[in-house]
Amino acid sequence: MNIFAYGTLQLPEVMLAVTGREFDSQPARLDNFARHRLRGRSYPGIRPNIGAWVDALVYLAIDTPSLVLLDAFEDSFYHRELVKVYTSDGIELEAETYVMNEDSHHLLMTEAWDLEDFRRNQLHSFLLRHE
C-alpha cells in the first residue's frame, strides 16, 4: 500500500521514528484537498476542498506492520482514506492518507501549515516526544 504523507511524516526521520523503517518515496500531489495548521498542535490536517491541492510525498509499498504503527501514531480525529495522487512525473497512484474527520474540522485553522517552519522550529522536540 502507498501512503500520501502531507505533514510531519514527509520527513524521513519522522517516518523512521514511527515505523523503524525507511521507504522509497516520491513527490506527489493530492487534488481537491487543502492542508491547514491544527489549533494547538505542531502538525497539520487535510480536508476536502474542491479546486485546492496539497503537494507532499507518497511513500511506496508500506508493509502491514508499518501501517499498524502509522495508524497508532495518528490521532483519533483522522481516518485513513483511499485517494488518487499524482507523482511529479504525472503518474497516477492509489494511496491512502489521513483525512480529518468532519466533526474535527473546528480544529483546522485558516492558515497553511509549513513543512520548513516545522523542520526548523519543532522537529527536534517532536522527535524527542516520539522516540
- The residues carrying an active-site annotation are 74
In whole angstroms, give the CA distance from residue 7 to residue 114. 9
64: its cell numbers: 502491514
In whole angstroms, give the CA distance from residue 96 to residue 58. 9
Pick the closest to residue 2 from 53, 89, 63 (CA basis): 63
In whole angstroms, give the CA distance from residue 42 to residue 56. 17
In whole angstroms, give the CA distance from residue 83 to residue 2. 10
